[in-house]
Amino acid sequence: MKKIAMLTGGGDCPGLNAVIRGVARKALVEGCEVFGFRNGWAGVLKGDYFPLTRERVSGILHLGGTILGTSRTNPTDEQLDTLVKHLKSMDLTALVAIGGDDTLSVASRLHKRGVPVIGVPKTIDNDIDGTDQTFGYDTAINIATEAIDRLHSTAESHSRVLVVELMGRQAGWIALGAGMAGGADMILLPEFPMSLAEICKIIKQRQAGGKNFSIVAVAEGFKLGGVEIMATKELDAFGHVRLGGIGEVLCREIEKTTGIESRGVVLGHIQRGGTPSAFDRVLGTRYGVKAVDLALKGEFGKMVALRGTEIVGIDIDSILTEVIDTKTGKPKLRVRNRCVPQELYDVAKVFFG
Ligand code: F6P
């Protein structure tokens, strides 16, 4: 009997359960046995998995998080041997790795070692190259848009500047999407530097034009004066710093420079929690079903991707780039980040001020 196993790795994300259900239901219909590893690569290392029956994946489509659990476990080269050993001993038809750039990079290392893997691109950050959209992003910007809508009335009542800090690591997709949908008066992204003087000038001009308040949407990776603000200097298992704090820094600087009372709001993990949007449920379901299609055709080493309105399979290798590992100082291959393009930022800029 064919066997499909799956895991979810990295930060959780709305729509993960839709993918899990999509993979499981399609695989079960095709007569496969289906298994889920607990807590990402940590579960594969321990051989910790359980059967995903039709019953087990029932009633999960609308739930946030992941019924499999997740972790940011980054296998070392020696641990990779253990992963390969465990996966080969299970005689899997395919392993579906649902995760962001880190999880997909591990999937590609495993594929090179002969493990039949298929990747599914997950992240609220929407920053994975090769796909027009990751699942989770739509939910995140809907949550953030609602927050910006709510900030308008309090900003206006108090004649304040409200700076809302949004997630996204080194990509500004969430700030861009929520900022545009929520009608923010300025959107600050890592991809497009802006000086404090320019930011304050726009706020002052807006005030001079009769608007007593401003909403600034800032991505956590925005660098003020070229400086990245970190919540902690500690690196996670994949060598990422934990970003956070730019909203508060910016808010203090804006108040000092413009004399307008300002407040900072950090949306944080609220952007990632809770029920997925209808769009993410549909996208996740389509990704899950396509992943099984690819697995049953033997098209391994591929990632499902949205291209226009189609779901396609692309080679994970085609989106890898060489970077220096911040932990070891050695070169390694990882999935390329997809940044906000100039043309989209130019549209957003029309509404600054
Ligand atoms: O990659 C998703 C993400 O939510 C980023 O936007 C954010 O910087 C990071 O994860 C937060 O990570 P953690 O859940 O470890 O705090």
- 23-46 pLDDT per residue, tens: 999 999 999 999 999 999 999 999
Residues of the chain within CATH 3.40.50.450 domain(s) are 3-135+276-319
Does ligand 1 have an atom closer than 6 angstroms to the CB of 272?
yes
Catalytic, 185? Answer no
Is the CB of residue 167 below 6 angstroms from any atom belonging to ligand 1? yes
The residues, any chain, with a CB within 8 Å of residue 266's CB and separated by 6 or more, are 164, 165, 244, 247, 248
Ligand 1 pocket residue status of 169, Cβ below 6 Å: yes
The single residue listed with the structure tokens 């600087």 is 253
pLDDT of 68 above 80: yes
Bridge partners (DSSP) of residue 347 are none
139-273 has which CATH code? 3.40.50.460
Smallest CA-to-CA distance from 295 within 94, 2, 33 is with 94
- Looking at residue 326, what is its pLDDT? 80
* Site to substitute for ligand 1 among 128, 270, 272, 335, most atoms within 8 A of C-beta: 272
Q: Is the pLDDT of residue 309 over 90?
A: yes
Q: What is the pLDDT of residue 328?
A: 81
Give the ligand 1 atom nearest the CA of 236: 15
Q: Residue 240's pLDDT is what?
A: 86
Nearest CA to ligand 1 atom 14: 11
Q: Which H helix or E strand runs over 273?
A: none
The span from the CA of 225 to the CA of 217, in Å, is 17
In the 8-state DSSP scheme, what is residue 215?
A: E
Residues 169-221: tens digit of each pLDDT: 999 999 999 999 999 999 999 999 999 999 999 999 999 999 999 999 999 99
pTM, full prediction: 0.96
> Residue 252: its pLDDT value, please?
97
The atom of ligand 1 lying closest to the CA of 272 is 4
Is residue 260 within 6 Å of ligand 1 at its C-beta? no
> From the CB of 123, is ligand 1 less than 6 Å away?
yes
Tokens of 347: 């549209």
Helix (H, G, I), strand (E, B) or coil at 322: strand
Q: Looking at the chain, which residues constitute the CATH 3.40.50.460 domain(s)?
A: 139-273
- Counting ligand 1 atoms within 8 A of each CB, the residue from 169, 218, 266, 269 with the most, and so the one to mutate, is 169
Q: What is the pLDDT of residue 235?
A: 83
Best substitution site from 70, 104, 124 to test ligand 1's pocket, by max atoms within 8 Å of Cβ? 124
More confident residue, 255 or 326: 255
Atom 8, ligand 1: which residue's CA is nearest?
169
Question: 337 in helix, strand or coil?
Answer: strand
Q: Is 124 in the pocket of ligand 1 (CB under 6 A)?
A: yes
Asked if residue 327 has pLDDT above 80, the reply is no
CA of 55 to the centre of ligand 1 (A): 31
Mean pLDDT of 131-153: 98
Mean pLDDT of 134-144: 98
Q: Please provide the size of the chain in residues.
A: 353
Question: At the topology level of CATH, where does 3-135+276-319 sit?
Answer: Rossmann fold (3.40.50)
Say if residues 49 and 67 touch (Cβ distance below 8 Å).
Answer: no
> How is residue 77 written in tokens?
């080269």
Residue having the nearest C-alpha atom to atom 12 of ligand 1: 11
Retrieve residue 318's tokens. Answer: 């085609």
Choosing from 125, 127, 129, 138, which is the catalytic residue?
Answer: 125
